[in-house]
Structure 1
Amino acid sequence: MTDEQLPDPAVQVAHAQEIAPDLLVIPNHRVQLVPNIGIIAGTQAVLVVETGIGTANAEQVLAFASEVAKGRRLYLTTTHFHPEHAFGAHVFADRATYLANRAQADDLKTKGPGYLEMFRSFGGPIARRLEGVPVPAPDVVYDDGSGYDLDLGGRTVRLRPTGRGHTKGDQVVEVPDAGVLFTGDLAETGQFAIFPWFPPYDTDVSGVRWLTVMDRLAAGAPRVVVPGHGDLGGPQVLADVRDYLRELRDETWVRRDSAMSEDEIVAEVRALLIERHPEWVGQEWIERGVGCLCAEHAV
């Protein structure tokens, strides 16, 4: 695939749909590097969840959110630091208050520049969307231990750090009155779990801790789950991701215990999981997941 054949990660605000009263989602329609984006409204303020990648996407999201807000105060939050979720936050400067948990803010500061460089190296439309984009910095950083309750007026949204999983700084966004949960990339639908396992540069992803997070989220049984990428669903989305992570861990570790080489483990586990989930995309993430869990097995 040449640079020009890479899909353009364009957010389509015209496709926004209301999934609960005063709660809209701009779906990604399974376009690579486009997240599901939330617009959550109360009587006094509106919260945007995720920006899309780059300036042009974020400008569309901001314009749409401003139209929804009709003069109400704007807030922005992101579920984690990866570029398609957060690297449009600069567009919201002076227009919205950007809230994030401390671990995510640390990720943006320490790893954001490297990820910006990596994504620009993909070339084509991805590089063009990131031209002139700075690494974002939140306006308000809250402590991970306490979480943050944001009062939008008649509706409280809960920002809840989960601890290390997909990244060190994952945060979920709960809308209790609507039974809606935004998971970021802790959960996807229709694809293998994304393991950003890039030793020695980035090894913060933890399959073991991610599984613990999913156990906890699944126990909450939200009415609607908005995954980082893929179709919206019910609580089964969380259960499916939890079950896959357990499957990946168990199949990796039983082979690790038999003293197989990592290359052999990857080959066997990859073939097995593709056979079990033939309709899922993102097969390249199986190898990364095996590598992560092999390293965690050795601890």
Structure 2
Amino acid sequence: MPFEPLVHEPAVDPGQAVEVARDVVVIPNRGVELVPNIGVIGGTRSVLVVDTGLGPRNAEKVLAFAVEHARGRRLYLTTTHFHPEHAFGAQVFADQATYLVNSAQAADLVHKGPGYLEMFRGLGAPVARNLEDVELIAPDVVYEDGYDLDLGGRVVRLGATGRAHSQGDQVVTVPDAGVLFTGDLVEAGQFAIFPWFPPYDTDVSGSRWIEVLRRLDAAGPDLVVPGHGDVSGRRILTDVREYLELLRDETWRRRDSALPEETIAAELEALVIERHPEWEGRDWIAKGVGCFCADHSGHQAAGAGETAESASA
């Protein structure tokens, strides 16, 4: 989410779709802000769409593309997390697709969706236009930890990762093709997006995020479709994890020295921009520092609790 109003149209362009594996198509975001990478995954009987684009206008284009691609096959929809450019077009699919998400994401849509809708409407006229007439609908199917979706000759795995970029993050794995859709757990060519907005939303956890990336890397995907940016090889999981580890370690080292958060953020912005001068989204660095400062406090509290428990024993 940007901090300056957008002046461009956050438009999905299905005409740019590319097949990255057999019957696995990506509508790329082309570096356009507030446009996600969107997936269309086919089996012999059904087709799964991954993410909708920002609002009904974009979702209508995605649905039209999916219907044409499906050629009579049944449609499913899932969303990697509840943020507006990923999920706020689901209403368009209501009569034509079965909508599946994990329970934590379903709760995010109910409890945080309206607030994010208002926040995003303040990000400029192009965004507000695309969010006109948004209705936040309930999913048709809600699962807990994982869901194997049989598309016919191909089983796609939906997996709740637990709290990381959001409370309800979900990855989509196409095992026979070696393709992993990560949503905003991974971005290519930009700093990790930390939706750290206290007191309104503090569910992002950098420490948990690192562990999620470690697990995803261990699964050994061949291709990674990030939330935003170019489709990449498995290495991108390591790149993002190493950035988060650097941000965590350097934040915690300075926090232990009792530096104020503003000073830590300024020092780390200079450090990580020097490491990754080509990456975009520099505003998210300070948000990441704020998140890791909170993680540090929780880490210290947990450590103190363990020490007290050991002493009492």
Q: TM-score if structure 1 supplies the norm length?
A: 0.97
- Please list every run of at least 4 consecutive aligned residues from structure 1 whose deviation after the TM superposition is greater than 6 angstroms: none
Matching of residue 6 in structure 1 with residue 3 in structure 2: no
Distance 1:100 1:39 in 2: 16
Contact 2:78 2:99 in 1 (8 A): yes
Q: Where does 1:93-172 land on structure 2 (aligned, <5 Å)?
A: 93-144=94-145, 147-172=146-171
Contact 1:86 1:136 in 2 (8 A): no
Contact 1:166 1:205 in 2 (8 A): yes
Instruction: From the CA coordinates, give the structure whose radius of gyration is larger.
Output: 2
Distance 2:75 2:223 in 1: 23
Distance 2:8 2:83 in 1: 18
- After superposition, the CA RMSD in angstroms is 1.1
Superposed displacement of residue 135, structure 1: 1.6
User: Tell me, which stretches of 5 or more residues in structure 2 are unaligned?
Assistant: 299-313
Q: 2:17 maps to which residue?
A: 16
Superposed displacement of residue 136, structure 1: 2.9
Q: Where does 1:155-194 land on structure 2 (aligned, <5 Å)?
A: 155-194=154-193
Q: Where does 1:81-96 land on structure 2 (aligned, <5 Å)?
A: 81-96=82-97
Contact 2:164 2:208 in 1 (8 A): yes
SS of residue paired to 1:19:
strand
Distance 2:135 2:185 in 1: 25
Superposed displacement of residue 232, structure 1: 0.5
Superposed displacement of residue 138, structure 1: 0.8
Contact 1:116 1:135 in 2 (8 A): no
Q: 2:76 maps to which residue?
A: 75
SS of residue paired to 1:141:
strand
SS of residue paired to 1:226:
strand
Superposed displacement of residue 199, structure 1: 0.3
Superposed displacement of residue 245, structure 1: 0.5
How many residue pairs get aligned? The number is: 296
Distance 2:118 2:243 in 1: 31
Q: TM-score if structure 2 supplies the norm length?
A: 0.93
Q: 1:48 maps to which residue?
A: 49
User: Identical aligned pairs, as a percentage?
Assistant: 68
Moved more, 105-114 or 120-129: 120-129
User: Tell me, which stretches of 5 or more residues in structure 1 are unaligned?
Assistant: none
Superposed displacement of residue 132, structure 1: 0.8
Superposed displacement of residue 2, structure 1: 8.2
Superposed displacement of residue 173, structure 1: 0.1
Q: 2:213 maps to which residue?
A: 214
